[in-house]
């Protein structure tokens, strides 16, 4: 598994994250990004090309050192100045109320303690700040959800800790955010167990 995580997983992740199916949703999700921005779960840096032109600087975190060989060249080539740290979202070292925007795309599925991480995201957001997210998760259809439950234990070690069955809308809302607005849909081009999306803006009032 060590070899897989060091060499194969980063390649597969980069391939999966560059899927055409995510292009429009990424651009839509990131369109409102403004002010002081933190991206959690930066991954291979796929979002850099989707920030609006007004964004010139972001802070970004990801705990996985093996992704650097993909993310660092993207950072170097980007017009955006990225202040990157190897950190996990459950333990953000930033003072409270620092950011206007926090961004997470396809990341809440992989964070071990997602409830704690959402609490941290809320803490570092200014009052009125926005959490922009695009996540896949638990489908409303019982048949799909049953398969998500069945497959998650086998999928998790292969997919970098990814849970197929997290109820994203509820998790974000239960963390104390106001959903403003948030949409759910099956993403065309992906199997339904991977492609039930929750996308939008959650606000810290």
Ligand X SMILES: C[S@@+](CC[C@H](N)C(=O)[O-])C[C@H]1O[C@@H](n2cnc3c(N)ncnc32)[C@H](O)[C@@H]1O
Question: Which residues of the chain form contacts with ligand X (CB under 6 A)?
Answer: 13, 17, 40-41, 43, 46-47, 62-64, 67, 88-90, 105-107, 110-112, 160-161
- CA distances 84 to 61, 74, 87, 127, Å, are 6, 12, 9, 24
3 or 143: whose CB is closer to ligand X? 3
43 or 129: whose CB is closer to ligand X? 43
10 or 129: whose CB is closer to ligand X? 10
Closest distance to ligand X from the beta carbon of 161 (Å): 6
23 or 178: whose CB is closer to ligand X? 23
Closest distance to ligand X from the beta carbon of 57 (Å): 18
CB atoms inside a 10 Å sphere around CB 95: 8
For 62-144, list the strands marked E by DSSP: 81-85, 99-105, 125-136
CA angle 87, 91, 97 (to 5 degrees): 105
50 or 177: whose CB is closer to ligand X? 50
Closest distance to ligand X from the beta carbon of 142 (Å): 26
Residue with tokens 């849970």: 163
Residue whose CB is nearest to ligand X in the complex, by number:
43
55 or 111: whose CB is closer to ligand X? 111
Closest distance to ligand X from the beta carbon of 72 (Å): 13
Closest distance to ligand X from the beta carbon of 194 (Å): 11
- Tokens representing 78? 């980007």
Rounded CA separation 94/57 (Å): 17
Helix (H, G, I), strand (E, B) or coil at 71: helix
Are 43 and 17 spatial neighbours (Cβ–Cβ below 8 Å)? yes
Are 166 and 104 spatial neighbours (Cβ–Cβ below 8 Å)? no
Q: Determine the length of the chain.
A: 205
Closest distance to ligand X from the beta carbon of 88 (Å): 3
């Amino acid at each position: 598994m060590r070899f897989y995580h060091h060499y194969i997983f980063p390649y597969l992740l980069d391939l999966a994250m560059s899927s055409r199916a995510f292009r429009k949703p990424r651009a839509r999700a990131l369109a409102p990004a403004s002010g002081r921005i933190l991206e959690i779960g930066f991954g291979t840096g796929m979002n850099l090309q989707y920030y609006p032109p007004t964004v010139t600087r972001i802070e970004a975190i990801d705990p996985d050192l093996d992704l650097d060989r993909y993310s660092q060249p993207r950072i170097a080539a980007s017009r955006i100045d990225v202040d990157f740290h190897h950190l996990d979202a459950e333990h953000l070292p930033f003072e409270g109320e620092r950011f206007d925007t926090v961004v997470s795309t396809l990341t809440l599925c992989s964070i071990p303690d997602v409830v704690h991480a959402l609490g941290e995201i809320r803490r570092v957001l200014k009052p009125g700040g926005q959490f922009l997210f695009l996540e896949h998760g638990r489908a409303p259809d019982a048949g799909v959800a049953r398969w998500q439950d069945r497959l998650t234990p086998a999928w998790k070690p292969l997919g970098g800790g990814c849970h197929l069955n997290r109820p994203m809308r509820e998790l974000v809302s239960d963390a104390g955010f106001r959903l403003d607005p948030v949409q759910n849909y099956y993403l065309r081009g992906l199997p339904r167990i991977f492609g039930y999306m929750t996308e939008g803006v959650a606000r810290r009032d």
